[in-house]
Amino acid sequence: MLALALALAGCSVFKWPPSPLKPKEPSTTLAPVSPPTSWQATKLLHTLSLDNSPTLSIAIAPDSRTLAAGSFDGVLKFWDLQSGKLLRTMNLDTSVQSLAFSPDGATFATGEGDGKLKLWRTNKGRQLKTLAGHPFTIESIAFSPDGRTLASGSWDLTVKLWDVSSGKLLHTLTAHKDFVTTVAFKPDGQEIVSASYNGELRVWQAKTGELLHGFAGHAFPIYQVIFSPDGQFLFSCSKRGSIKVWDVKTALIRYMLQAHSDAVTDIALTSDGRVLASTSRDRLIKFWDVKTGLIFNSLKGKFVKVLAFSPDNKYLATGDQDGQIQIWLNSEEK
């Protein structure tokens, strides 16, 4: 496999083209580099339960102490990440499609199957607000880096931007032609990327909601998009089993990894940006060295739908189709 050239010059804002681009072949191959020292080995720390209901969403608090997971049947549970102790169980009226903690961890949000977006106080589990605006399922939510704005992507083909403090709807973004499956803020908070079931990507100005560019990212549904911590690269995964790595500055595909033999349903990056984890319907979790594009570790078992690294890079949480939550320890951590 060719080396993944990630050490590129800095970038400022998106400049995506209006039409699809073919992957650009790198002009040179990087010299061999040592693989990441983290996640070379994993240890199963805890196996937890969402009461046999399929896991739809998972999130870890910014302080790496609390794990939250939501299910198809509306079960929402919180555990202590290190001990595995159950902290709280909540029963919502509908499926918990998406979960997100605010950057300070004081608040969390749920995007639900009935189109409701709710804000909650983390330490008490008390509901703060219901943000009503989507008539259909909310598939993805994301807080802005400063915690002031919340983005929600829905089956109603729209992305909505909300003021977290007041609950006011700021903008409704309407350029998608199919279900919106995922949304993500660029780390500097200036732009938002959204993706849809028809494989299209849209790039928006976060402050105004202006559409900057739109293009076909994959030929199949896109299930997740995430930024590298420095904002230079965007990772996207699709139903076809591929992962694409985009250069944000040039909008060129640096690499397309045929990562799995079936749909890649989720991807996650360690906070240092060195390790990418992917999960698929092929029942494999793979760990990738971002610098080389090479797989250096894998886990095999049930179909894991969602996963998340803890911000301190010590833990990986996974949620499967049977409602089982597993917490894996990075064995390189002492």
CB atoms within 10 A of CB 300: 9
Q: pLDDT tens digits for 21-72? A: 333 333 333 334 456 768 999 999 999 999 999 999 999 999 999 999 999 9
pLDDT at 6 over 90: no
C-alpha span between 162 and 107 (Å, rounded): 14
Confidence of residue 216 (pLDDT cuts 50, 70, 90): confident
Confidence of residue 333 (pLDDT cuts 50, 70, 90): low
Among left, alpha and beta (phi > 0; psi -120 to 50; other), residue 22 is: beta
pLDDT at 334 over 70: no
Q: pLDDT tens digits for 270-320? A: 999 999 999 999 999 999 999 888 999 999 989 999 999 999 999 999 999
Confidence of residue 247 (pLDDT cuts 50, 70, 90): confident
Confidence of residue 263 (pLDDT cuts 50, 70, 90): very high
Q: What is the pTM of this model?
A: 0.88
C-alpha span between 273 and 271 (Å, rounded): 5
Confidence of residue 215 (pLDDT cuts 50, 70, 90): confident
According to CATH, what is the number of the domain 42-330? 2.130.10.10
Residue with the bigger pLDDT between 216 and 92: it is: 92
Residue (of 158, 195, 193, 152) closest to 175 by Cα position: 158
pLDDT at residue 249, rounded to an integer: 81
pLDDT at 99 over 90: yes
Residue (of 207, 191, 229) closest to 16 by Cα position: 191
Q: Where are the domains of the chain?
A: 42-330
Tokens (6 digits) for 328: 């894996």
